Every structure is written in C-alpha cells, then in structure tokens.
Amino acid sequence: MEVDRLAELEAENARLRLQNQALTDELEAIKRRFFGRSSEKTDQPAQPQLFDEIETPQAQPPEAQIAVGSHTRRGGGRKPLPTHLEREEILLDIPEEQKRCACGNDLVRIGEEVSEKLEIIPARFVVKRYVRPKYACHHCEGSADEDRPAVRIASMPPAIIERGIATPTLLAFIIVNKYVDSMPLARQELSFARLGVELPRQRMADWIIAVGEAATPVVEQLLIDLRAGPVLLADETTVQVLGEEERNNTSKSFMWVGYGGAPQRPVVYYRYATGRATSEAAALIGGFSGYLQTDGFEAYDRLVRERDDLIHVGCWAHARRKFFDAKGNSKKAGAADEAIAMIAKLYQAERELADLHDAEAFLTQRRERVQPVLEQMKSWLEKKALHVPPQTALGKAVSYTIGQWDKLVRYLEHPDLTPDTNRVENKIRPFVIGRKNWLFSGSPRGANTTAGVYSLIETAKANGIDPYRYMRTLIGRLPTATTTADYRALLPSKISLD
C-alpha cells in the first residue's frame, strides 16, 4: 500500500509540476504582452529609451562631405531640403553706404551665401465662387428656339456630392486625415473650427460614405486584380460595428484583408464581415486559384480542403512568435533560442538573395541555402516533441510548427512567396492604428465604406503613390466615369495623377 501511495504522490507531483510550468509560461506571456517590448528582434540595445523623444537629446548625424573644386570640405550634418518644395527668395543685403571701399572704389559682388530654412503655411480654407451668367432673349422670350430653355446658363462641373460645398481637395484631405493619419472626424471638426470653419462630423461622415459608394466600381476592379495573381495572402482582425441587424453593439465583427495581384502592381483589399467562418474566407478568396498564404487559422484549412485549386502556404513569423513566447523573459539561451536562430537563417537567405531578379536562379539558390536548415530543424523538432511536455509554451511551439510543417516549407516553390504573411499583416496595421483612434464604425454601411476606402488608400501606398494626390484625382474624375474601362483607368496602378 505504501508503494502504491508513493507512486500516486509522485504522479501527482509530476502533474502539478507540468501544470505549474504551463501556468508560469502563460504568466510570462501576459507580463510580456503588457509590460515588455512587442518586437521579436533579439539584437535590441540593453537599455531601452526611457523618456519621450521630445525630452531626450538625439545624437546629430555625421557631418557630410561637400565637394568644392578639387577638394572636399566638411559640411553640416543636415540633409538638404527637398528640391520639389516651393522656394521664396529673401535678399539680405548690406546697406548701400557699406558698398564703397575706403579707397574710394565701389565694392564688387563676388558671390553669395545661401541659407535655407523651412517654413510651413498652416492649412487654410479658400471659397471657390462659381459665377454662372444667365442669358435670355428680351425680344421673343425664347419662343423662337423651342429646343432650348428660355434662360440659358452653364452647367456646374460634375461632382460626387451635387449641390454640396465640398471640393475634391477637401474630401481627399478629410479622408486622408482619417484613414492615413488616423484622425477621427470629431478631432477634425475641432481642428477646422480653429480655422474658423464649422464642419460637423456627421456631415463629413456622410461625405465619406458618398465617396466610398461612388468608388465602389473601382474597388470591385481591385478585387478582380487581387484574385488574378499567382499568390494571395489573407488575414483578418476585429472591428466593432454599431447597428448590425440582430446583433448587439458589443458584438465582434471582422475586417478581412487580402494582399495579392501582379508582383509589380500589388493590390490590398479589405472586406467587412460579421463573422470569421470559412464562408467569409471563401468570400474574400472567391475564384482565386494558386498559392494561398495564411496563418494557422482553421477556417483557411477547411477552405483549402474543400477546393483542389488552392495550395496552402504557412507563415514562419507565426511559428517564430510561439518560440519567442516560449523564450519568456529569460536571458539564458535555451531550446527556444535554438529554434529562433534556425528560423533567422531562413530570413538571412531571403535578404542576401533579394537582389537576384532571375526567378529560376532565385528559386534554386534559395532552396540550396535553406534546405539544410529545414532538415536540421525538422530533426530538432521531432526530438523535442519526444521530451518536451506539450502543455508548456515550448511544447505548444514545437507542436504547432510540426503540425504546420508541410505548409511552412511550401514557400520554396514559388519566387513570389516569402517565408511569412508579413506583407498582409503590415497592411492590417494601419487599420488597427486607426481603430484605436476612432474605436468603431457607426453602421454596417460605414464599415463597408471604411473597407473600400482603406482598399484604395493602401493599394495606392503599396504602388508608391501619394494617397492624398490619388484620392484627390480619383474624387475629381469619378463623376464622369461610366464604363469598366473608365473605372480601371482610376486604379492606383493605372491612374495618371493631377
């Protein structure tokens, strides 16, 4: 009996140790989430910045070398101001009486020194007055020309908001403030009031919805291009939407994001949905056929199992994140560090081969570089799986990576694939930052507008286009667009900016 009791206590002790380790891992992850740095880089300086940057003096950049004739001289550390900025010349000359030498001769101008300082002109409103003369005939009062109106007047330029006061420049300014600079309409209302103009937030919200709905045909063309590429990345994040039918205002909705299209003309597409089911993933993917790269969310797995034209690719960043969580706050190198180091070699190969533009050569060399690392890691994972308790953070990281292995190594098959889904996650980040400021969408209609506007703006940014210039041009041309060709000409990758 004593032997049985001892064995029972030893088993209970082992179970409690595992439970304690699992709870310790969870506690470390929570502490790091709230109090630690979010970056997964391991080469951070030992002492983080303790104060706000406005209070901390920054080291000046190294002095530049300026060529003067046949030699160089040390210049200031500042970079020259951009050449595209408007210049206003201010002449600072000496008094006329000082331009004469004591010898009696006039001084001769032998050169000049130029100093440039940066000035800003705060935003200002300008009222555009459209004056349209009216014409009428005093003799027949229009009876001689029945095909034309008796009083003739020029038409107003076509606009998205007819009889409204907003011009394309104002609409683009408001939209970019909200969706690029994450400034809620309530703050914009106060900012405009300081400039002496009253623009209620509800009126601005109505304007944005009108722009979003007018741009719907362009957004639909974005979706077509998103699905036309060889690779599509997908991810999703939460959003709170008020006024959803048969749902509480506290219910959690989702913004699905896709990144794809032609490699040189990337497309970013946002889609609002009330759920996170496989059907919503299918609605985003649509008729796409090719490589679908996602995280380990089960909805994508179910979707791929239902279709034979999708090749599922995993994300090494998510696997690395789990090992990073398992590492905890320990400064001692452990098993998690070994995994992180092996994953780092995969990214090192990507960086060193980035300038290789021949697709076949890139694929061959990448495979040669990383295949030995992958074989080493697969062997390492299988050994760890035999000894590491699955309840611990390290055990969960090992299990996740083994379970995702076939998808994780599939990025080696296509040159447009990378080891992770960071390209689409980076496009979720602007939305998340905006969401922290404006908190929620006021209605499903507003959420759909948000999805469309973000699609246009983030696609413009992905194609190297200034979002304000793009939105200003788009809003100015949308009223005259009627055909599919017209709307395709307004895509960020095709538009000629005003």
Quick check: is 163 in a domain? yes
pLDDT tens figures, 115-124: 999 998 888 8
pLDDT tens figures, 342-358: 999 999 999 999 999 89
Quick check: is 333 in a domain? yes
- 298 and 351 inside one domain: no
- 300 and 440 inside one domain: yes
C-alpha radius of gyration, the chain, whole number: 31
Among 398, 420, 442, give the residue marking a domain's end.
420
Tokens 């098993």 correspond to what residue? 335
Taking residues 153-161, report their average pLDDT: 92
Tokens 């292995």 correspond to what residue? 405
Higher pLDDT, 188 or 331: 188
- 178 and 304 inside one domain: yes
3-state secondary structure (DSSP) of residue 12: helix
Residue 237, beta-bridge partner list: 255
Quick check: is 146 in a domain? no
Rounded mean pLDDT of the chain?
A: 87
Quick check: is 302 in a domain? yes
Residue 54: is its pLDDT beyond 60? Answer: no
Residues 207, 174: contact at Cβ < 8 Å?
yes
Cα separation, 212 vs 38, in Å, equals 34
Quick check: is 13 in a domain? no
- 281 and 193 inside one domain: yes
Cα separation, 316 vs 290, in Å, equals 19
- 251 and 215 inside one domain: yes
- 241 and 170 inside one domain: yes
Higher pLDDT, 387 or 235: 235
Taking residues 148-175, report their average pLDDT: 92
What are the phi and psi torsion angles at 356 (to 5°)?
Answer: -90, 105
Residues 495, 473: contact at Cβ < 8 Å?
yes
Among 393, 420, 447, give the residue marking a domain's end.
420
Residue 81's nearest CA partner among 115, 112, 113 is 115
Residue 312's pLDDT band (cuts 50, 70, 90): very high
Residue 66: is its pLDDT beyond 70? Answer: no
Full strand arrangement of the beta sheet holding 265-273: 265-273, 253-262, 231-239, 290-293, 310-313
pLDDT at 63: 46
pLDDT at 200: 96
DSSP string, 356-372: ---HHHHHHHHHHHHHH
Say if strands 152-153 and 231-239 run parallel, antiparallel, or are unpaired.
unpaired
Quick check: is 64 in a domain? no
- 257 and 355 inside one domain: no
Pseudo-torsion of CA 331, 335, 336, 340, nearest 10°?
100
State the angle between helix axes of 359-387 and 393-403 in degrees (0 to 180), rounded to the nearest 10.
140
Residue 479's nearest CA partner among 159, 132, 261 is 159
Among 380, 398, 420, give the residue marking a domain's end.
420
Quick check: is 134 in a domain? no
- 263 and 300 inside one domain: yes
- 300 and 323 inside one domain: no
Residue 14: is its pLDDT beyond 80? Answer: no
Burial class (CB in 10 A: 0-12, 13-18, 19+), 61: exposed
pLDDT at 61: 52
Q: Total structural domains in the chain?
A: 2
pLDDT tens figures, 444-463: 999 999 999 999 999 999 99
- 234 and 376 inside one domain: no
State the angle between helix axes of 422-438 and 444-462 in degrees (0 to 180), rounded to the nearest 10.
130
Helix or strand holding residue 451 (H, E): helix 444-462
Most confident of the following: 3-12, 138-147, 489-498: 489-498
- 199 and 307 inside one domain: yes
pLDDT tens figures, 177-204: 999 999 999 999 999 999 999 999 999 9
Residue 27: is its pLDDT beyond 70? Answer: no
pLDDT at 123: 84
Residues 6+ apart with CB under 8 A from 332: none
Domain interval for residue 385: 316-420
Cα separation, 179 vs 215, in Å, equals 15
pTM for the structure as a whole: 0.83
pLDDT tens figures, 396-442: 999 999 999 999 999 999 999 999 999 999 999 999 999 888 878 88
pLDDT at 28: 62
- 211 and 289 inside one domain: yes
Residue 218's pLDDT band (cuts 50, 70, 90): very high
Quick check: is 283 in a domain? yes
pLDDT at 5: 65
Structure tokens at 31: 């502490």
Residue 47's pLDDT band (cuts 50, 70, 90): very low
